């Protein structure tokens, strides 16, 4: 039997998750294009250790990606926002998939445990 507060807890959880997802999408899509263009830690170390030029001589692995180096025909700011949006959706999809997998494994173990008790 369900407790009276369990439906409210579920509803509150889904509201929280929806707001969190919306906030992540807004930040990734509309705020990330204005992030610092200063080099990140890896790039800074590459400059200091003087191997950045050697890395730039090779063909980049992202050359054939849908949005190469956050730019191309789309434009740098728009491409960064689009990449952030896609990244949030892909991350959410992976997490939901893992959640369902863990839930189904737990449900199966509980069912097997109940069968073995009888």
Domain boundaries, the chain: 6-84
Say what the pLDDT of residue 46 is. Answer: 82
Per-residue pLDDT at 95 exceeds 60 = yes
User: How many CB atoms lie under 10 A from the CB of residue 46?
Assistant: 17
SS3 100: helix
CA angle 104, 108, 109 (to 5 degrees): 120
pLDDT, one tens digit per residue, over 96-111 is 999 999 999 988 888 8
Q: Which helix (H) or strand (E) holds 75?
A: none
Q: Can you list the alpha helix ranges (DSSP code H) found in the chain? A: 6-26, 41-48, 52-57, 76-117
Query: Who's near 47: CB < 8 A, 6+ residues apart?
Result: 39
pLDDT, one tens digit per residue, over 39-77 is 678 778 888 888 877 777 777 666 777 666 655 555 678
Distances (CA, A) of 22 to 27, 41, 88, 118: 9, 29, 10, 46
């Amino acid at each position: 039997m369900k407790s009276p507060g369990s439906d409210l807890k579920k509803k509150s959880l889904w509201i929280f998750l929806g707001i969190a997802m919306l906030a992540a999408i807004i930040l990734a899509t509309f705020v990330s294009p204005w992030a610092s263009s200063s080099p990140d830690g890896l790039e800074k170390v590459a400059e200091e250790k003087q191997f950045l030029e050697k890395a730039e001589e090779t063909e980049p692995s992202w050359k054939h990606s849908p949005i190469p180096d956050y730019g191309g025909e789309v434009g740098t700011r728009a491409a960064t926002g689009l990449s952030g949006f896609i990244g949030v959706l892909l991350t959410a999809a992976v997490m939901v998939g893992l959640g369902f997998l863990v839930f189904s494994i737990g449900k199966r173990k509980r069912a097997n445990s109940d069968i073995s008790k009888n």
